[in-house]
Amino acid sequence: MEKTKQRYWICAIGPTDQNKIPSGSDAPMRMAVENAFKKVTKHDSQELFSGWGNDEERLRMVNYAWNIDKDNPFYKKLLKMIDYGDKVYEELTQNDLNAVDSV
């Protein structure tokens, strides 16, 4: 029997003027995604998060992390940063930080 491969669907949409977004506007979008997920997969999601708190810089960061080769040493450093928090950030070399600038 084939081993189950867990996957997450990720989407970013925008931009829009944050000043024109009404309070509570995240809820209808989140509900629409949850309903579509149930329709496609035939089960509830275990995780769902979203929000308007992101800007172009953060979108670029997510896109970079999403597309980086998993064998890239910098990818492994990013995972360590996520797993261990700010403590590992101090271990990054200037070359690691420059790699982000070159993307």
pLDDT tens for each residue of 25-43: 889 999 999 999 999 999 9
Convert the pLDDT of each residue in 41-86 to its tens digit.
999 999 998 888 788 888 888 888 888 888 888 888 777 777 766 6
Domain ranges, residue 61: 54-103
62, 102: one domain: yes
**Could you tell me if 50 and 26 are in contact, meaning their C-beta atoms sit under 8 angstroms apart?**
yes
Which of 61, 69, 56, 71 has its CA nearest to residue 101?
61
75 CB neighbour count, 10 Å cutoff: 14
60, 94: one domain: yes
91, 48: one domain: no
68, 100: one domain: yes
31, 58: one domain: no
60, 101: one domain: yes
Residues in the chain: 103
Q: How far apart are CA 69 and CA 90, in angstroms?
A: 23
Give domain status of residue 75, yes or no: yes
Give domain status of residue 91, yes or no: yes
Element (H, E) at 39: helix 26-41
